[in-house]
């Protein structure tokens, strides 16, 4: 018995001692629609995907639904950062930003862990850190980013204005070098790299050679960051998750965005990690990135925060996807796609939304059914009368949520 116990302890020690340190970086290149990435030769994005996968995704929430969200830059970043849509995070444009910090960003989740995870941001735009992440604000728990490289849009001496806004490209070049150097030398646990100029190229010239050229240059910038990641993996006992994406698509002529056309809503994700069936089921969303990185990093997400997330992980096991609600006389039908018929689905409901204003929702457990049933009928008598309901489906490996407003 003692020998067996000793052997077990040795195995556990070896597993712990030799587990690779996990780190993650996500890169947003602004405003590049999926069809451009698919059409152009982008070696860095392709090499990253060759290790994991590439797929179209969507932004903009549900068209015509309570979560419909404009396809605008700062909104797109916040969709990613919080794994929620506009109806929750409250970022409605690129100016006059008023985030609802009750919906935690991935950076706050990282900083709320027991381990001291180091974070970094490499970005032209200061508001990404000071407003969207809410660094130093009481509402974000006085969040502090450890490595900061941003604010260059305000540095007119180093980056004087150029024709076609090409000083923004110069900033992206500098940000890229800082990010590659920071990853190679400092290796933050969680990094966000933001590259701006592709969006300007689209606004200025629309579809065509100019936009193509600067999308290819963005891929070259991604290559520098990817090389830094590969250096860390080759020389240190580390495993990295890399996610490259965009915040929104574009109008048909390439000049504009903000609406709900298919091209404006269609984004894409390239990752170096193996993916699960959800990644290719036609429902992949920008809101799935934060849950996926959290899973990779092993972050513990408090249940109230987790249940507000509209995304789901595209790595690791998942049981259900694509939750829908529909009225049935006085009842409500909850339905889902079954990815694991052996899982069970537990249904919860709340009749208010106190979480939105910093309160605590009272969740009512309604029942448990096999995932293979693919639906659950909420009887009118199971819940107090209300014009608003929140529903959560919880399984062993993921959750889904939806609102119902009557």
**249-296 tens-digit pLDDT:** 999 999 999 999 999 999 999 999 999 999 999 999 999 999 999 999
- Give the pLDDT band (50/70/90) at residue 8: very low
Predicted model pTM: 0.95
pLDDT at 136: 98
E strand spans, 59-189: 119-122, 147-149
Query: What letter does residue 111 receive in the DSSP assignment?
Result: H
Give the model confidence (pLDDT) of 347-396 as tens digits. Answer: 999 999 999 999 999 999 999 999 999 999 999 889 999 999 999 999 99
E strand spans, 237-338: 238-245, 266-271, 320-328, 331-338
Domain count, the chain: 2
Q: Which of 308, 329, 348 is the last residue of a domain?
A: 308
128 in the same domain as 28: yes
341 in the same domain as 297: no
The first and second tokens of residue 72, run together, are 């605008």
Is the predicted pLDDT of residue 308 greater than 80, yes or no? yes
Residue 340 sits in a domain whose CATH number is: 2.60.40.10
131 lies in some domain: yes
Q: Tokens 């006992």 belong to which residue?
A: 237
210 in the same domain as 84: yes
Distance CA 402, CA 406 (A): 13
Give the model confidence (pLDDT) of 319-332 as tens digits. Answer: 999 999 998 888 99
pLDDT at 309: 98
Residue 148 sits in a domain whose CATH number is: 3.40.720.10
**Closest to 77 measured CA to CA, from 134, 159, 147, 35:** 134
Q: Tokens 């998942």 belong to which residue?
A: 318
367 in the same domain as 249: no
Q: Which domain holds residue 183?
A: 20-308
Q: Which of 308, 331, 354 is the last residue of a domain?
A: 308
235 in the same domain as 299: yes
Is the predicted pLDDT of residue 134 greater than 50, yes or no? yes
257 in the same domain as 376: no
**Closest to 153 measured CA to CA, from 73, 84, 261:** 73
Give the model confidence (pLDDT) of 62-115 as tens digits. Answer: 999 999 999 999 999 999 999 999 999 999 989 889 999 999 999 999 999 999
14 lies in some domain: no
Give the model confidence (pLDDT) of 178-237 as tens digits. Answer: 999 999 999 999 999 999 999 999 999 999 999 999 999 999 999 999 999 999 999 999
pLDDT at 198: 98
pLDDT at 178: 98
DSSP H helical ranges for 52-113: 73-82, 86-89, 106-111
12 lies in some domain: no
pLDDT at 2: 38
pLDDT at 17: 42
15 lies in some domain: no
109 lies in some domain: yes
Cβ neighbourhood burial of 238 (10 Å; 0-12, 13-18, 19+) = middle
Q: Which H or E run includes 225?
A: helix 209-235
**Closest to 320 measured CA to CA, from 238, 399, 234:** 399
378 in the same domain as 267: no
Give the model confidence (pLDDT) of 155-172 as tens digits. Answer: 999 999 999 999 999 999
Q: How far is CA 97 from the centre of its chain?
A: 19
7 lies in some domain: no
The upper half-sphere exposure of residue 123, i.e. CA atoms within 13 Å in the direction of its Cβ, equals 23
- Give the pLDDT band (50/70/90) at residue 13: very low
E strand spans, 272-378: 320-328, 331-338, 344-350, 364-370, 375-378
The first and second tokens of residue 313, run together, are 């992980």
- Give the pLDDT band (50/70/90) at residue 406: confident
179 lies in some domain: yes
281 in the same domain as 337: no
150 in the same domain as 65: yes
340 in the same domain as 301: no
Query: What are the CA-CA distances from residue 346 to residues 276, 341, 396 (Å)?
Result: 22, 14, 9
pLDDT at 374: 98
- The distance in angstroms from the start CA to the end CA of the chain is 63
Is the predicted pLDDT of residue 402 greater than 70, yes or no? yes
pLDDT at 6: 41
390 in the same domain as 248: no
Q: Which of 285, 308, 331 is the last residue of a domain?
A: 308
331 in the same domain as 292: no
Distance CA 305, CA 308 (A): 5
61 lies in some domain: yes
């Amino acid at each position: 018995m003692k020998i067996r116990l000793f052997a077990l302890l040795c195995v556990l020690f070896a597993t712990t001692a030799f587990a690779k340190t996990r780190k993650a970086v996500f890169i947003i290149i602004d405003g590049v629609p999926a069809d451009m990435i698919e059409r152009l030769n982008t070696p860095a994005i392709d090499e990253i995907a060759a290790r994991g996968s590439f797929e179209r995704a969507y932004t903009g929430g549900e068209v015509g639904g309570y979560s419909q969200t404009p396809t605008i830059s700062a909104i797109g970043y916040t969709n990613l950062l919080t794994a929620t849509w506009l109806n929750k995070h409250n970022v409605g444009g690129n100016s006059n930003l008023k985030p609802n910090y009750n919906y935690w960003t991935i950076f706050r989740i990282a900083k709320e862990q027991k381990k001291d995870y180091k974070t970094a941001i490499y970005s032209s735009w200061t508001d990404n850190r000071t407003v969207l992440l809410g660094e130093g604000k009481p509402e974000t728990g006085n969040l502090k980013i450890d490595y900061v490289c941003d604010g260059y849009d305000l540095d007119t001496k180093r980056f004087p204005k150029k024709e076609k806004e090409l000083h923004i490209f110069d900033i992206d070049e500098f940000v890229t070098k800082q990010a590659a150097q920071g990853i190679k030398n400092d290796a933050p646990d969680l990094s966000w790299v933001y590259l701006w100029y592709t969006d300007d190229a689209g606004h200025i010239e629309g579809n065509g050679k100019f936009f193509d050229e600067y999308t290819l240059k963005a891929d070259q910038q991604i290559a520098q960051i990817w090389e830094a990641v590969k250096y860390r993996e080759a020389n240190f006992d580390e495993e990295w998750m890399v996610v490259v994406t965009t915040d929104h698509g574009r109008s048909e002529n390439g000049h504009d965005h903000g609406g709900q056309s298919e091209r404006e809503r269609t984004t894409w994700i390239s990752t170096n990690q193996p993916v699960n069936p959800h990644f290719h089921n036609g429902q992949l969303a920008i809101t799935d990135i934060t849950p996926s990185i959290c899973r990779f990093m092993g972050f513990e997400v408090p249940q109230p925060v987790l249940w507000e997330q509209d995304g789901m992980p595209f790595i690791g096991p998942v049981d259900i996807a694509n939750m829908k609600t529909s009225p049935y006389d006085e009842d409500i039908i909850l339905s889902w796609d079954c990815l694991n018929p052996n899982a069970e689905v537990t249904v919860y409901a709340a009749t208010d939304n106190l979480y939105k204003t910093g309160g605590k929702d009272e969740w009512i457990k309604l029942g448990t059914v096999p995932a293979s049933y693919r639906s659950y009928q909420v009887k009118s008598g199971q819940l107090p009368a209300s014009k608003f309901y929140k529903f959560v489906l919880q399984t062993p490996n993921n959750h889904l949520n939806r609102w119902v407003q009557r």
